[in-house]
């Protein structure tokens, strides 16, 4: 059975006359990492919230279709079950941090306290999550004294510590520096390796391409396609949807360097490999740079 399924999912915010999500259907296997891309306003955040049950649990409005988590309907789950099943990392950590705790450590422990995890296990999990995100050294800091990047990693640690089966991240690294981004992506990759299903909304296409098994492209609330990064970024109509291919793909397209499957490379490593091959076979690409 698919781990996460959306069936004709529709949603409209209260007071809005357009659908934020328009008849979205897909299914995702356990442990898959799914990228969510699209221009601002395309429905990425709404989809994240629907997957995490905040739509329709918290945000009212018109809701149709369903989201199934392990075959169970998210909209019918109680908050306790739902929050053990799926964790959501917000775009802006200021919206996630409770503000009720005086140290980063307590902040990370907040969710676990609420679901009544035994004390010893709670400490172990908080420490593990904080170490994974490289913020254990800031455990005694006041949450709002942390830098943007540290605060975001603290928010992610709070979600990781809950050990949900599914983690939804809504542009989680937009506030981070390159090193912080790398750390967060490495941490997500670790979790992904443990069979956690990941949904990741992100504008950085190089990251999406390097990281995701499949990518969902949204436009005006509709799912345009959900496919492997190579197939999606080899489409020639991306501009129509307000997204760009990774810089490597753009370069390969101009030079018409394709893999055996006829698709353009999407990551640095693949692009390098294909360019090197072309050079060896004397196909005449890029000698001008020697």
Distance set, CA 30 to CA 2, 4, 33, 213, 283 (Å): 7, 8, 9, 12, 42
> Alpha-carbon distance 246 to 249, whole Å?
5
Alpha helices in the chain (DSSP H): 44-51, 54-57, 79-85, 104-114, 119-132, 148-161, 178-193, 205-211, 229-233, 247-255, 268-280
- Out of 178, 260, 281, 282, which residue is the one contacting other proteins (CB under 8 A)? 178
> Alpha-carbon distance 229 to 215, whole Å?
6
Residues 234-273 contacting other proteins, CB under 8 A: 242-244, 246-248, 250-251, 254-255, 268, 271-272
> Alpha-carbon distance 4 to 28, whole Å?
5
- Residue whose CB is less far from other proteins, 94 or 110: 94
**Quick check: 203 binds other proteins (CB under 8 A)?**
yes
Range in contact with other proteins (rule: CB under 8 A) among 38-46, 104-112, 121-129, 256-264 = 38-46
- Residue whose CB is less far from other proteins, 140 or 177: 177
**Quick check: 7 binds other proteins (CB under 8 A)?**
no
Strands across the sheet containing 62-69:
21-28, 4-12, 62-69, 72-73
- Out of 50, 63, 171, 229, which residue is the one contacting other proteins (CB under 8 A)? 171
**Quick check: 137 binds other proteins (CB under 8 A)?**
no
- Residue whose CB is less far from other proteins, 30 or 203: 203
**Quick check: 96 binds other proteins (CB under 8 A)?**
no
**Quick check: 94 binds other proteins (CB under 8 A)?**
yes
Continuous segment of H or E residues that includes residue 223: strand 222-227
Neighbour tally for 2: CB within 10 Å = 16
| Residues 6+ positions from 121 with CB-CB distance below 8 Å | none
Range in contact with other proteins (rule: CB under 8 A) among 81-89, 160-168, 173-181, 224-232 = 173-181
- Out of 149, 158, 164, 229, which residue is the one contacting other proteins (CB under 8 A)? 149
**Quick check: 99 binds other proteins (CB under 8 A)?**
no
**Quick check: 134 binds other proteins (CB under 8 A)?**
no
Identify whether the C-beta of residue 229 lies closer than 8 Å to the C-beta of residue 266.
yes
Range in contact with other proteins (rule: CB under 8 A) among 77-85, 128-136, 160-168, 169-177 = 169-177
- Out of 129, 176, 200, 226, which residue is the one contacting other proteins (CB under 8 A)? 176
Least distance in angstroms from the C-beta of 149 to other proteins: 4
Residue from 117, 196, 195 nearest 156 by CA? 196
Residue from 272, 202, 263 nearest 230 by CA? 263
- Out of 114, 147, 190, 240, which residue is the one contacting other proteins (CB under 8 A)? 147
Continuous segment of H or E residues that includes residue 198: strand 197-201
Least distance in angstroms from the C-beta of 205 to other proteins: 9
**Quick check: 222 binds other proteins (CB under 8 A)?**
no
Identify whether the C-beta of residue 59 lies closer than 8 Å to the C-beta of residue 13.
yes
The residues binding other proteins (CB under 8 A) are 38-41, 91-92, 94, 147-150, 171, 174-181, 203, 206, 242-244, 246-248, 250-251, 254-255, 268, 271-272, 275-276, 286, 288-290
């Amino acid at each position: 059975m698919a781990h996460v399924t959306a069936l004709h999912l529709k949603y409209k915010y209260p007071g809005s006359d357009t659908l934020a999500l328009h008849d979205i259907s897909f299914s995702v296997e356990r442990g898959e990492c799914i990228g969510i891309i699209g221009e601002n306003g395309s429905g990425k955040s709404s989809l994240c919230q629907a997957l995490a049950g905040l739509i329709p649990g918290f945000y009212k409005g018109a809701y149709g279709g369903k989201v199934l988590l392990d075959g169970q309907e998210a909209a019918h789950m109680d908050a306790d079950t739902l929050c053990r099943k799926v964790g959501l990392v917000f775009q802006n950590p200021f919206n996630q941090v409770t503000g009720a705790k005086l140290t980063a450590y307590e902040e990370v422990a907040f969710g676990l306290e609420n679901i009544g995890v035994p004390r010893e296990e709670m400490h172990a999990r908080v420490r593990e999550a904080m170490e994974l995100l490289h913020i254990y050294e800031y455990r005694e800091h006041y949450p709002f004294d942390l830098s943007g990047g540290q605060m975001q990693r603290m928010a992610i640690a709070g979600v990781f510590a809950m050990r949900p089966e599914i983690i939804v991240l809504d542009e989680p690294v937009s506030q981070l520096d390159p090193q912080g981004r790398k750390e967060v992506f490495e941490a997500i990759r670790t979790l992904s390796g443990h069979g956690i299903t990941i949904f990741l909304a992100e504008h950085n296409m190089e990251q999406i391409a390097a990281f995701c098994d499949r990518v969902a492209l949204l436009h005006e609330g509709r799912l345009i396609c959900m496919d492997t990064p190579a197939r999606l970024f080899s489409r020639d109509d991306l501009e129509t949807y307000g997204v760009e291919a990774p810089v490597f793909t753009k370069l390969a397209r101009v030079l018409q360097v394709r893999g055996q499957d006829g698709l353009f490379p999407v990551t640095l490593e693949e692009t390098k490999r294909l360019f090197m091959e072309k050079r060896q076979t004397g196909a005449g690409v890029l000698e001008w740079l020697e």
